[in-house]
Structure 1
Amino acid sequence: MRSERQRPVEAPAPVTGKDDAAGHDDRFCRLVPAGDWDALPADVRRRFSRHLAGQAVATYSGEIVWTRLSRAGWLLAQLCRLIGAPLPVNSSGPAPAAVAVSEDRASGGQCWTRLYGRARGHPQVIHSAKSFAGPTGLEEHIGGGFGMALTVGAEADALVFVSHHYFWQAAGLRLRIPAWLAPGTTVVTHQHLGCGRFAFDLKVTHPLLGEIVNQHALFRDG
């Protein structure tokens, strides 16, 4: 690991979470080129511009259509249980799912909670926190001090989040995890399906082992 004191990419302008006159949250919008953002479907822009003030919670319900883990992906998911199980822990077929998003005004970020049903046993609950900070302007913290810096892009009818690098931080110390020790590239896609519906895809691809995690889910506005 190495220190994060030198930023690997040019830092964007600080994303403060300032709301416009209509009460929209512009933090995700500011991470995407204006023309690309404006070209996104209205439903996608609305979901990622929702102003979650006070106790407001945005909810989405649907199903996990499939979860596919390679042997390496399964092993990684089990190891990640030590830091809160941020990855699906087993391959599975259709299962109910729900997502809740709330604002964390104290930290200036958002709290994301995902509930995934399973064929046997209790549902898996995944907690993470997004902060609008760091060299790329967006980070996802998954527990145990671990997180990943994300870049955000718009592609036709989808908003795409791609891992730039992973890190560990605690007690004021921040270390970047070297590429050879990282799980690979994580890509999360939020794709518009129309009528208040969207697809969620999670893929983790290792440079040597190939695709190790592939999850496809369908959600609708709550």
Structure 2
Amino acid sequence: MMRGAAKRKSDTQKPAACERDDALTDDRFRLLIPRAAWDALPEDVRLRFSKRLSGTAVAAYRGEIVWTRLSRAGWLLAQLCRLIGAPLPTGGSGPAPAAVAVSEDRKSGGQCWTRLYGRARGRPQVIHSAKSFAGPTGLEEHIGGGFGMALAVRAEADALIFASEHYFWQAAGFRLRIPRWLSPGATTVTHQHLGSGRFAFDLKVTHPLLGELLNQHGLFRDA
């Protein structure tokens, strides 16, 4: 009886061990930057962007948005973007609870990112986007209505930085690159290591003529 029980216990432990191994085998982000730069990143960052999110697996992060600052032009841009699913924060705010969930995007083979931002009044804002490992830079973010941006990725010290290279619109197999003079400007997202499973999230959108449209700073930790 004891040998049978031990065997059953061993059998139940094997899938868990396999899941832990499978969770750290996604090299798609690592391949976007030079190996030396990737290896120089803190271990927390490398592990966070190496999770194999297959099937129903979800990576969750909880924290708060410390501030969201919108210029007048930035506020107008955020309101116009409601027409394609509100991919930008629609109002400035002080500290507010926030959560992020990342899962597999079965349609593109990439990842679905869902961000939940609390508000002092009214319902929280939910922002959806999908990352696909495609295009001239190797990474694209689709934000709704057929619009998206190609992202260039680089590592600097303790941070992984995603910067827009260009914007595009696509539908039914047709793809149009949006001219720079029609784009909202440069979008930069910074994922900075803070230690002990914590990281800072910074989102900035800067227009060449109108200046900074959006500046958002959040603090998160592995859930």
TM-score exceeds 0.5 = yes
Unmatched runs of 5 consecutive residues or more in structure 2: 1-20
Counterpart in the other structure of 2:140 = 139
Map Cα deviations across residues 98-143 of structure 1 (whole Å, 9 max, x no partner): 0000012442100000000011110000000000000100000000
Aligned residue for 2:25?
24
* Of 20-29 and 62-71, the range deviating more from structure 2: 20-29
Q: How does 1:56-75 map to 2 (within 5 A)?
A: 56-75=57-76
The 4+ residue runs of structure 1 with deviation greater than 3 A are: 20-23
- Gapped runs of 5+ residues in structure 1? 1-19
Structure number, greater radius of gyration: 2
1:76 positional shift: 0.2
Alignment deviations for residues 39-95 of structure 1 (CA, whole Å, 9 cap, x no partner): 000000000000112110000000000000000000000000000100000010000
Task: Please show how residues 70-149 of structure 1 align to structure 2 within 5 Å.
Answer: 70-149=71-150
Deviation at 1:173, TM superposition (A): 0.4
Residue 210 of structure 1 aligns with an amino acid whose one-letter code is: G
> What is the root-mean-square deviation in Å for CA atoms of aligned residues?
1.2
Counterpart amino acid of residue 195 in structure 1 = S
Q: Which 10-residue stretch deviates more, 97-106 or 207-216?
A: 97-106
Separation (CA, whole Å) in 2 of partners of 1:120 and 1:108: 37
- The equivalent of 1:219 in structure 2 is 220
Which residue matches 1:173? 174
Report the Cα offset of residue 21 of structure 1.
Answer: 7.9
Alignment-mate amino acid for residue 50 of structure 1: K
| Structure with the higher helix share, 1 or 2 | 2
Please give the TM-score of this superposition, normalised by the length of structure 1.
0.90
Aligned residue in 1 for 2:184 = 183
Q: Which amino acid aligns with 1:91?
A: G
Aligned residues of 2:87 and 2:143 also touching (Cα < 8 A): yes
Q: Which amino acid aligns with 1:30?
A: L
- The number of residues matched between the two structures is 203
Change (3 A) 1:21 1:58: closer
- SS across alignment from 2:87: coil
Q: Which has the higher contact order (CA 8 A, sep 6+)?
A: 1
Equivalents in 2 of 1:165, 1:122: separation in Å? 32
Normalising by structure 2, what TM-score?
Answer: 0.89
Percent identity over the alignment is 82
